[in-house]
Structure 1
Amino acid sequence: MMKIIWSLCLIFSLFNSILSFSSPANHLCLPDQRDALWEFKSEFYIQKPDWMESDTKTTTEKWKNTDCCSWDGVSCDPKTGKVVELFLWASSLNGPLRSNSSLFRLKHLQRLELTSNNLSGTLPSSISNLKHLKVLNLRGCDMFGKIPSSLGNLSHLTNLDLSENDFTGELPDSIGSLTQLTELQLAVAKLTGKFPLQLLNLSELNGIDLRFNHFQGMLPSNMSSLSKLASFDITGNSFSGSVPSSLFLIPSLMILALGKNDFNGPLEIGYNISSSPSTLGSLSLEENSFIGPISGSISKLVGLWYLVLSFWNTEKGMVDFSSFLHLKSLKTLHLSYLNTRSIVDLSLFSHLMSLSDLDLSGITVKISETLSLPSTIETLALSSCNIAVFPKFLQNLTSLYSLDISVNRIEGQVPEWLWSLPALRYVNISQNVFSGFEGSADVIQRSEKVMLDISSNTFQDPFPLLSNSTVYFSGSNNRFSGEIPRALCELVNLDTLVLSNNNFSGSFPRCFNARISVLHIQNNSLSGVFPEESVSVYLRSLDVGRNRLSGKLPKSLINCTILEFLNMGDNNFNDTFPFWLSSLANLQILVLRSNKFHGPLSSLMFDISENHFTGVLPSDYFASWSAMSSAVDIVDSTLFKYAGRSSPYYHNSVGLTNKGLKMELVGSVFTMYKTIDVSGNRLEGDVPESICLLKELIVLNMSNNAFTGRIPSSLGKLSNLQSLDLSQNGLSGGIPPELGKLTFLARMNFSHNRLVGPIPQGTQIQSQNSSSFAENHGLCGVPLQETCGGKEEEEEATKEEEEEDQTLSWIAVVIAYVPSVFCGLTISHILFSCKPDWFMRIFHSFT
């Protein structure tokens, strides 16, 4: 028996050896492939993000041995040893992808993924050298410029993702040659033009993502030619016209996202329900220009589980909410701000047993005492619903995660049972008339609330004890007083703290969480110095304006490399201009107004009015202010994500002088960042010509300084300018006629200068009050009472000014000439007093 077993083992061993010799060898990485990878790595420098531990190695830093096929992120063909896949997601690569990069020597690459690296630069046309590519993913690589037409040569490409870059221009026609393409993702870029018709030739496409670009025009009527399309997302563009009914004829379509465009006209669901049930599961039509009743044909889409129709303008018409009851599979239903006079009974939605996300904000709701909504609801938004009593039905929503009942009329105290809901993490009860909390002082602390917004109520002391898990807290616009509670310092997870517009006093706390990113304590009565240790290196937004803080700016701010918003205005800071702030590359909004800053000015500015700055602004002063020379919106809000869900934005606010009025700017997108206010200082010299480069400038206030010279005619190029204040300076000459052509210029002030000549023609200029031109004794014309004497008077004024300039020039010549004559005579006397032969030797040496 043993002999038989040994014989079988021997036979098996020999058989295995034969197989090993007969099978192809598993080649190691070929030298030319390894060298190309080494060189590709050397083309970039490694800069790890702040969140990565210093001792953590990136993918390419782990490349050590000679067999590149075993390296992280590298895959080879086992038969040939050629590199076929390169996956370097978030590998901290910094530097442009060169046109002659060694990457293009890896000619057998089939998959290239460089997602989330900093490849700041253009996409080289030599990318077409990788002719075997099937997957190309360059999402979030900070690339810019036009998409090269050479991409059309990658005939094997099935997946193309260039999202989250700054690509501009139109999509090249050559994309229509990618007949194998199944996934096209170009979201969050700056692409322009109409819908790329060449995409209709790509019959294999099952996913198109063009979200948040600048496409415009109408969609083609024959969209159904994309017969395999499963997902079509064009959210956040400027498409207009009617939604083609052919979209609903695509049998495979499951996701259709058309929100945040300019679609209008009737919505036709071009599909016959009797032929086959619709596969469409997700439909987004929010924030378009639809006017009139909501199409009842939506009820035919019985497979919908996601439906968003927010901001549909029904023109105060009625909405038949019962039509949504046919959609039994609905999990998400957003009907907010429909501009309807209808009152919706919440009990209507108790029949949608799968519902988990309901948003009826902006619609008056009726809540009965016996109301019971499905226990599956996780997110409920009833903001601006005209609710006067705290909804008791919420007690039964044991799955409720997020609750928004802001902007209602609810009075009294917040019930204690709210904090015992087991899943509740986000609560927004702002803008009501709440005055306190039921239960003991630690009722909130015992819960696990992550985000809590109680702003704009009438809460007063005692300040609530917050949960240790709190990430976001806003208690602004209430009646809290005394010192800021030191218990806030114990909240180790706190990321956003907003306590603006209360009555807090005392010194600024020295103990805030070192990881806090938004700290707003504007408009209180805090005093003393701003402590250095209260500055977190993670700060993105810091607002302590309108307090009584004194001393110098904390130098520890220089470590806040991601700081975007800084408001120190309306305090008692006494310091020179903080030049060191210019090293903060991400700082976009700086407010230092109404302090005691002094000395010369740096190039970093937003609002520095009412200080003591001096000096001359050079003519090229604004040449590098790129943020105002192109249409860039600065998102200054804070979006938090927890367990895959998002909280609302927190809006920054800042005060400035606009159109002669003190005003507060509030918003999630700070378009008013495009404002320059240097009023109330001691600046002198000419108004810099380079200001005309700031194409997106909206407000310009240079009043109450010592500027002289002429008003630059180039100001007429600021087509978006709405407010211009040059009053109380020493400006001379005429008001440039070009300013009369600025159609948005609603408010201007040229008073208290030395301006002369006629006020330019133009509806906007001549509609101003006469006080806008007062104390300029040489000005004439509407709206002033002084009439102009025609062209002769204007020419005479110009002639007198030219003669004055000429006289000054002649005086300068005489002043320079007299010493020259004197020096010449002196030298001549000396020379001719010398011996003739000595003089002749000097003369011959020069001739």
Structure 2
Amino acid sequence: MFGSRAKHLCRPDQRDALWEFKNEFYVEESSQYALWSNNTDCCYWDGIFCDPKTDSIGNLKYLRVLSLRECNLFGKIPSSLGNLSYLTDPDLSFNSFSRELPDSMSNLNRLRYLKIVSTKRSGNFPHVLLNWTELTSIDIRSNQFEGMLPSNMSTLTKLEDFEINENLFSGSIPSSLFMIPSLIQLDLGRNDFSGPLEIGNISFASKLKVLFLGENDFNGPIPGSISKLVNLSYLDLSLWNTGKGIVDFSIFLHLKSLTFLDLSYINTRSMVDTSVFLQFLMSLDYLDLSGINLKINSTLHISSCISTLSLSSCNIGEFPKFLQTETSCLSYLDISANHIEGQVPEWLWTLPELWFLNISQNSSSGFGGSASVIQRSELEMLDISSNTFHDLPLLLNSTKFFFGSDNWFSGEIPKAVCKLVSLDTLVLSNNNFSGCFKYFTRISVLHLQDNTLSGILAEGSISDYLRSLNVGHNKLSGELPKSLVVVENNRISDTFPFWLGSLPDLQILVLPSNEFYGPISYPGDSLSFPKLRLFDISDNRFTGGLPSDYFALWSAMSLVVDIVENIIRRSSI
């Protein structure tokens, strides 16, 4: 701030910012900046001048780079930004701006980069952008923009990066967008675009490397002209609706530079030979073919070094044997929701980089391999839910997340499981575990509902790190621990847990079919559950009456939203 000194113009936030800035540097004792004193008026610090006429950002006419990222700003973007005629790089992301861009910003003809990510903005596509012919990057992801894209997008002749992911844009995509010769990254995913895609006649050597079209409402054939985008390294066409038509998957063989390919849940009746991708696309690192009928040749050899492979819901009948030779790169494997029977093969544990394995919703019944082989694995996440396992597998010290619900487990939960120091999430619901409730040391998510566990649910048996506990439909007794709980259909004998009123983020309180007793309100006291959405204390022995304003402060209950279903689903993982 430059100008004459003035009293009481230094706001505390400005003073603190200057103080932090100064502390980032070494300042000699002889320097004038060493005389600055915190908690004093910074307008009187050496080197600082305050002037009320320069408070407006619009007066910084030579400003080139403006970053207001994550500043908790709200309201409309000030029209005075239009005065910054030298501005090239504004970043207004992660704030709460409302309304459209001010018309005055059409004067900013030097803009090169524009970032307005996740600002809750709505309205149509800001046509003012088409006036900024020097733009090389437009990033307006994660907002609520709607309507159609303008047809004359090709006027942005220098555009390299166009990202509008996670908005509400609809209609068709103008083919002029693909005619921009400088375009390198095009992210149109997670919108409501529809209709067939017209890429047009690409007569030039396209520079496009990233094309994200997934999670829209496209229908019709996948355009064969995609094969001309030979520099593509990232391609996402997920959830494309071909109307159960035939897809010529050979068009992807021309894309030799692909490292990321997501074709998941394309609506096609075609059966795909996995060798098309795994044997001929030698740069491939990420492949998702979920939801497509696959043909897997047992002699298939992988030519690329794939780290992520998703083959969920692909009508696979056995563990893909070609993975046995994939010993160097594979770290993430999802083969859930298939028809795989028998034992999990021993060679699976020998994959040195594998840390994520999802084999849920199959018909697997056991694990092959000795304890010494399994212990060499570095798995962190294992999901075997909805299978026919009888014996709980040997979990590793590296295991952080284990999902084993809906199997045929019985007996006591092994003590070794309770003592795993890395274990964060344990889900064993809907089995037949019995015996006493165990001690879990560092668990943050523990779901054991629908078993036959017994014993006292003591405070000491619950981890201090616990965020979510569901032990409903068991035979537990004792008092209610002070945790986020779902404990219906047990034998808990206690008074109403008034201490829950100290948990402002509590969303679920489910205590039915127990032996709770006494009143649930006291004269003069009002429970406040501002975020509570699910409340069930039925089939207990509570007594007394309820004041007329008992639910007055339960504000979330009055909102018409779909969050309740999400909460219920998460609590019953």
Q: TM-score, normalised by structure 2?
A: 0.85
CA distance in 1, matches of 2:282, 2:250: 15
CA distance in 1, matches of 2:274, 2:351: 20
- Partner residue, 1:299: 227
Q: Which amino acid aligns with 2:182?
A: S
Distance 1:271 1:628, change over 3 A: farther
1:595 to 510, 514, 537: 514
Question: What is the aligned residue count?
Answer: 540
CA distance in 2, matches of 1:543, 1:31: 65
Q: Is the contact between residue 550 and residue 573 of structure 1 (CA under 8 Å) also seen in structure 2?
A: yes
- Partner residue, 2:326: 397
- Partner residue, 2:359: 429
Q: Deviations over 1:687-734 (max 9, x none)?
A: xxxxxxxxxxxxxxxxxxxxxxxxxxxxxxxxxxxxxxxxxxxxxxxx
SS of the residue 1:506 aligns to: coil
The answer to whether the aligner puts 1:577 opposite 2:496 as a matched pair is yes
Q: Deviations over 1:721-766 (max 9, x none)?
A: xxxxxxxxxxxxxxxxxxxxxxxxxxxxxxxxxxxxxxxxxxxxxx
- Partner residue, 2:154: 224
Q: Deviations over 1:456-495 (max 9, x none)?
A: 111112x222221222111111122222222124332222
Q: Deviations over 1:481-518 (max 9, x none)?
A: 222222124332222221111112223222321xx332
Q: Which amino acid aligns with 2:520?
A: P
Q: Shift in Å at residue 578 of structure 1?
A: 2.2
| 1:131-210 equivalence runs, <5 A | 133-210=63-140
Q: Which amino acid aligns with 2:450?
A: N
The answer to whether the aligner puts 1:362 opposite 2:362 as a matched pair is no
Q: Is the contact between residue 429 and residue 448 of structure 2 (CA under 8 Å) also seen in structure 1?
A: yes
Unaligned runs of 5+ in 1: 1-28, 45-58, 82-101, 109-124, 558-564, 638-649, 655-665, 667-847
1:416 to 340, 343, 346: 346
- Partner residue, 2:313: 384
Q: Is the contact between residue 441 and residue 464 of structure 1 (CA under 8 Å) also seen in structure 2?
A: no
SS of the residue 2:324 aligns to: helix
The answer to whether the aligner puts 1:488 opposite 2:417 as a matched pair is yes
The answer to whether the aligner puts 1:477 opposite 2:395 as a matched pair is no
CA distance in 1, matches of 2:453, 2:349: 32
CA distance in 1, matches of 2:26, 2:89: 19
- Partner residue, 2:455: 528
| 1:5-20 equivalence runs, <5 A | none
Q: Is the contact between residue 549 and residue 573 of structure 1 (CA under 8 Å) also seen in structure 2?
A: yes
Unaligned runs of 5+ in 2: 34-44, 522-526
Distance 1:157 1:581, change over 3 A: farther
Q: Shift in Å at residue 285 of structure 1?
A: 0.9
Q: Which amino acid aligns with 1:40?
A: D
Q: Which amino acid aligns with 1:309?
A: L
Q: Deviations over 1:7-63 (max 9, x none)?
A: xxxxxxxxxxxxxxxxxxxxxx99989x9889327779xxxxxxxxxxxxxx97xx5
CA distance in 2, matches of 1:511, 1:418: 29
Q: Which amino acid aligns with 1:584?
A: L
2:171 to 241, 244, 247: 241
SS of the residue 1:324 aligns to: helix
2:276 to 348, 353, 368: 348
- Partner residue, 1:338: 266
Larger displacement relative to structure 2 (285-294 or 439-448): 439-448
Q: Shift in Å at residue 152 of structure 1?
A: 3.4
Distance 1:290 1:458, change over 3 A: same
Q: Shift in Å at residue 634 of structure 1?
A: 8.0
CA distance in 1, matches of 2:153, 2:49: 38
The answer to whether the aligner puts 1:283 opposite 2:256 as a matched pair is no
Q: Shift in Å at residue 336 of structure 1?
A: 0.9
Q: Deviations over 1:197-233 (max 9, x none)?
A: 1122222322222222211110111112222222111
Q: Is the contact between residue 3 and residue 50 of structure 2 (CA under 8 Å) also seen in structure 1?
A: no
CA distance in 2, matches of 1:630, 1:73: 52
Q: Is the contact between residue 566 and residue 590 of structure 1 (CA under 8 Å) also seen in structure 2?
A: yes
| 1:301-700 equivalence runs, <5 A | 301-349=229-277, 350-398=279-327, 399-461=329-391, 463-513=392-442, 516-555=443-482, 557=483, 566-598=485-517, 599-601=519-521, 602-604=527-529, 605=532, 606-610=534-538, 611=540, 612=542, 614-616=544-546, 618=548, 621-622=551-552, 625-626=555-556, 629=559, 633=563, 652-654=570-572
Q: Is the contact between residue 248 and residue 271 of structure 1 (CA under 8 Å) also seen in structure 2?
A: no
Q: Shift in Å at residue 235 of structure 1?
A: 1.4
CA distance in 2, matches of 1:538, 1:651: 22
CA distance in 2, matches of 1:589, 1:581: 11
SS of the residue 2:244 aligns to: coil
CA distance in 1, matches of 2:373, 2:467: 31
Q: Is the contact between residue 237 and residue 262 of structure 2 (CA under 8 Å) also seen in structure 1?
A: yes
Distance 1:600 1:498, change over 3 A: same
Q: TM-score, normalised by structure 1?
A: 0.59
CA distance in 1, matches of 2:289, 2:371: 33
Distance 1:534 1:32, change over 3 A: farther
CA distance in 1, matches of 2:92, 2:564: 23
Distance 1:156 1:255, change over 3 A: same
- Partner residue, 1:675: none
2:24 to 72, 78, 102: 72
Q: Is the contact between residue 169 and residue 190 of structure 1 (CA under 8 Å) also seen in structure 2?
A: no
Q: Shift in Å at residue 451 of structure 1?
A: 1.2
Distance 1:163 1:622, change over 3 A: farther
Distance 1:319 1:145, change over 3 A: same
Q: Is the contact between residue 488 and residue 512 of structure 1 (CA under 8 Å) also seen in structure 2?
A: no
Q: Deviations over 1:365-389 (max 9, x none)?
A: 0011211122411111110000111
Q: Shift in Å at residue 326 of structure 1?
A: 1.1
Structure with higher RCO (Cα < 8 A, 6+ apart): 2
The answer to whether the aligner puts 1:40 opposite 2:13 as a matched pair is yes
Q: Deviations over 1:80-134 (max 9, x none)?
A: 99xxxxxxxxxxxxxxxxxxxx9xx8889xxxxxxxxxxxxxxxx9554655543
Q: Deviations over 1:389-448 (max 9, x none)?
A: 111100122211111111011101001111111211111111111111112235433211
Q: Which amino acid aligns with 1:201?
A: N
Q: Which amino acid aligns with 1:361?
A: S
SS of the residue 2:154 aligns to: helix
Q: Which amino acid aligns with 2:157?
A: S
CA distance in 2, matches of 1:270, 1:542: 55
CA distance in 2, matches of 1:617, 1:126: 53
Q: Deviations over 1:547-576 (max 9, x none)?
A: 222222213x3xxxxxxx642333222333
Q: Which amino acid aligns with 2:143?
A: N
Q: Shift in Å at residue 581 of structure 1?
A: 1.9
CA distance in 2, matches of 1:177, 1:497: 57
| 1:814-833 equivalence runs, <5 A | none
Distance 1:547 1:142, change over 3 A: farther
CA distance in 2, matches of 1:517, 1:154: 50
SS of the residue 2:267 aligns to: coil
Q: Which amino acid aligns with 2:404?
A: G
Distance 1:320 1:36, change over 3 A: farther
Structure 1 ranges of 4+ moved more than 6 A: 29-33, 35-38, 41-44, 105-108, 634-637
Q: Which amino acid aligns with 1:581?
A: L
Distance 1:303 1:499, change over 3 A: same
CA distance in 2, matches of 1:620, 1:157: 55
Q: Is the contact between residue 147 and residue 171 of structure 1 (CA under 8 Å) also seen in structure 2?
A: yes
Q: Deviations over 1:282-327 (max 9, x none)?
A: 1111111111211112111111111111111111111100111111
CA distance in 2, matches of 1:573, 1:448: 39
